[in-house]
Amino acid sequence: MIPKIILGKGARATRRLIGYLYGPGSANEHTDPHLVASWNDFAPDPGRSPHRNPKDVEDQLAAQLDQPVKMLGDKAPTTTVWHCPVRAAPEDPILTDAQWADVARRIVAAAGIAPEGDDEACRRVAVRHADDHIHIAATLVRQDGRRPRRDHDIRAVQREARKIEADLGLRRLNPGDGTAAKRPTSKEHFKAKRQGQDTTTREILRTRVRRAVAAASTETEFFAVLEATGVTVRPKTGPSGDILGYSVALPGDLNRHGEPIWFSGSTLAGDLSLPKIRHRLTATTPEPATAQPADPWHQATAATEHIPRRLTHGDDHVAQGQLVALGGALDLLPLAAPAAARSELERAAAVFERATRSRITADFDSARVLRRSVQTILRTRAATRDGAGLAMLLDAALIAVAFAKHWHRTHQHAQQEAAAQQALVHLQTAYAQVAVPVLDDLARRAPGIQTKQRYARHLQQAVPEHADRILKDPAWDALTTTLADAETAGHNPATLLDQALGQRTLDDARNPARALTWRIHRLGQRHAPSPLAQAAMARSTTRLPATPVHPPTATPTAVQQPQVRRR
């Protein structure tokens, strides 16, 4: 059950709202509008007055609601209308008028509009014009002339909605922490539907602004990227000429006066205001480029592989910074992905966006490498031609998102935890779309039987507990090709296997050969050591036991670690 508070002001605010509630709606979606509750239980009902002109009854109802406001004259508040639609989930049972009346009573009591037993509370009505929702309309002057005490009414009605869900057996929504982005309004949804679009303008702009933030290194570059993606930008300047904020619009998205419909960054999401974007850009300014930069796919993968440890062993500020950087990487990956995987990656980024925000202040500087490497990937598109880099990065991202889900669970961030779970589903689909063709191509180039047997013998000696699973994994042939390619480049395959096995345990790997393929792929593209160096390493190197990221022990009160399965 979702309540949403909207405030109105102006001389005719109440009349406009009543007219809308009893009108046809933006897309003729209003059916049988009628009162289910009112402050005195006998307010005039435009939907149930068949012998009178409905417009006259609407005038009468609005006048009665406004009466306490009019009595104050010039002392009346500027904001006079409190409007709260309350919507049930699609799978919820249809509530009766009496049940909706009780919902309205509880909501206005929680908000401070009409506390229980207060006969001098604000005047209010609840109008039902569809099976799944009501609209509560109230005026913000009590009948005794005082103002209602509605401190923190948004949080209060959300808490009450969670209780109503439990009491009525409705779908239980996750409690929030006030950091969610603003949802599109019903009017925006209906407009998108009329225009044949699945996504509202607000959501399109939020995605493009997030991508611009993730792709930019400076404020100037941020605005340039926005304009390059087809967004119209309107800076807000102060008397000194300094830019204080910005608004964005989509070309062709006009109001009834033919003017662009503008959205400020802060109304798209709290972390997209210009001051917060500036802080993020300043805190993650790229370091000077090195003479011989590393492969950005390898850098991004390595940085992503560090995220689970930072979520389980780092402080909360570092962990939050890692989540923001991971969200930025997911925002940009669709731009570097093949067309087949782009849709699922966009969905993953859209839902994981909720998992990037919490009340914890982020340490952005801790995620500098991931941010910089993904930006480099976009500037060097040729590096994505074989798909291996993207598959390797997605493999690491799946683990990182699984740990993000667990981190939010331990911090009781219910909405963020649910968002991470949704992102996992889309990422797994995208990973299969990207990785399967790459693995199939590697498997077709598998080395001869003797070479494969040699690799198998080393596995059986090095990790007897996992050797059988690795040899039976469908990706075994792909792994042998990767080892053979590395051997051709001058690497010792046994040494590479030892290094790959020591990076992270295979205990939670659903496809251990796949996991090793990507590890060997990264290790094998490093500069091969000389024969003398190889001989020295062979004499002196002993494989260290794989150390899991999870804490080795857990107390009875500890939260269970996530059961992560590698692809």
Render 201-236 in DSSP notation, one character per residue.
Answer: HHHHHHHHHHHHHHH-SSHHHHHHHHHHTT-EEEEE
Count, in order, helices (H) and strands (E) of the chain.
Answer: 21, 9
pLDDT higher than 80, residue 552: no
pLDDT higher than 50, residue 449: yes
Those residues with Cβ within 8 angstroms of residue 28's Cβ, 6 or more apart along the chain or in another chain:
none
Is residue 215 packed enough to be buried (19+ CB in 10 Å), middle (13-18) or exposed (0-12)?
buried
Q: Which residues pair with 509 in a beta bridge?
A: 566
Dihedral, 545, 548, 551, 554 alpha carbons, nearest 10: -90
Q: Which residues pair with 142 in a beta bridge?
A: 122
Helix (H) / strand (E) containing 461: helix 449-462
pLDDT higher than 50, residue 518: yes
Q: Which one is predicted more confidently, 283 or 540?
A: 283
Of all residues in the chain, what percent carry a pLDDT higher than 90? 65
pTM: 0.75
Please tell me which of 183-187, 302-306, 498-502, 520-524 the model is most confident about, judged by mean pLDDT.
302-306
* Residue 545 pLDDT: 42
Please tell me which of 378-382, 404-408, 556-560 the model is most confident about, judged by mean pLDDT.
404-408
Of all residues in the chain, what percent carry a pLDDT higher than 70? 89
Of the pLDDT bands very low, low, confident and very high (cuts 50, 70, 90), residue 114 is very high
Neighbours of 301 (CB within 10 A): 26
Residue pLDDT, tens place only, 212-243: 999 999 999 999 999 999 999 999 998 888 99
- Can you give the C-alpha Rg of the chain in angstroms? 29
pLDDT higher than 80, residue 507: no
78 to 7, 81, 181, 262: CA distances (angstroms):
10, 9, 27, 24
Give the Cα separation of 522 and 226 in Å (integer): 34
DSSP conformation class of 509: B
Of the pLDDT bands very low, low, confident and very high (cuts 50, 70, 90), residue 531 is low
Mean pLDDT, the chain, integer: 87
Of the pLDDT bands very low, low, confident and very high (cuts 50, 70, 90), residue 30 is confident
As given in the structure block, the two tokens for residue 52 are 């009178």
User: For 296-300, 314-318, 529-533, which range has the lowest pLDDT when averaged over its residues?
Assistant: 529-533
Of the pLDDT bands very low, low, confident and very high (cuts 50, 70, 90), residue 363 is very high
User: For 118-132, 173-187, 250-264, 385-399, which range has the lowest pLDDT when averaged over its residues?
Assistant: 173-187
Of the pLDDT bands very low, low, confident and very high (cuts 50, 70, 90), residue 175 is confident
Q: Which one is predicted more confidently, 183 or 203?
A: 203
Residue pLDDT, tens place only, 299-349: 999 999 999 999 998 799 999 999 999 999 999 999 999 999 999 999 999
Question: What does the angle CA 212 – CA 323 – CA 355 come to, to the nearest 5 degrees?
Answer: 90
What's the average model confidence in pLDDT over 3-26?
89
What are the φ/ψ torsions at residue 425 (nearest 5 degrees)?
Answer: -60, -45
pLDDT higher than 70, residue 27: no
| DSSP codes joined into one string, 116-165 | TT-TTSEEEEEEEEETTEEEEEEEEEETTSPPP--TTHHHHHHHHHHHHH
* Edge-to-edge strand list for the sheet holding 232-237: 232-237, 243-249, 263-264
Q: Which one is predicted more confidently, 172 or 78?
A: 78
Give the Cα separation of 198 and 403 in Å (integer): 31
From 53, 59, 37, select the one nearest 137 (Cα to Cα): 37
* Residue 549 pLDDT: 46
Q: Which one is predicted more confidently, 246 or 539?
A: 246
From 94, 93, 92, 95, select the one nearest 106 (Cα to Cα): 95
Is the Cβ–Cβ distance between 295 and 374 less than 8 Å?
Answer: no
Helix (H) / strand (E) containing 72: helix 54-72
* Residue 554 pLDDT: 35
Is residue 524 packed enough to be buried (19+ CB in 10 Å), middle (13-18) or exposed (0-12)?
buried
What's the average model confidence in pLDDT over 516-520?
91
Helix (H, G, I), strand (E, B) or coil at 262: coil
Give the Cα separation of 316 and 323 in Å (integer): 11
pLDDT higher than 70, residue 537: no
As given in the structure block, the two tokens for residue 409 are 């669970």
Residue pLDDT, tens place only, 49-100: 888 898 999 999 999 999 999 999 999 999 999 999 999 988 899 999 999 9
pLDDT higher than 90, residue 538: no
Of the pLDDT bands very low, low, confident and very high (cuts 50, 70, 90), residue 292 is low
* Residue 241 pLDDT: 87
From 493, 477, 494, select the one nearest 485 (Cα to Cα): 493
* Residue 293 pLDDT: 61
Of the pLDDT bands very low, low, confident and very high (cuts 50, 70, 90), residue 528 is low
Is the Cβ–Cβ distance between 472 and 425 less than 8 Å?
Answer: no
* Residue 382 pLDDT: 44
Neighbours of 173 (CB within 10 A): 16
pLDDT higher than 60, residue 481: yes
Helix (H, G, I), strand (E, B) or coil at 557: coil
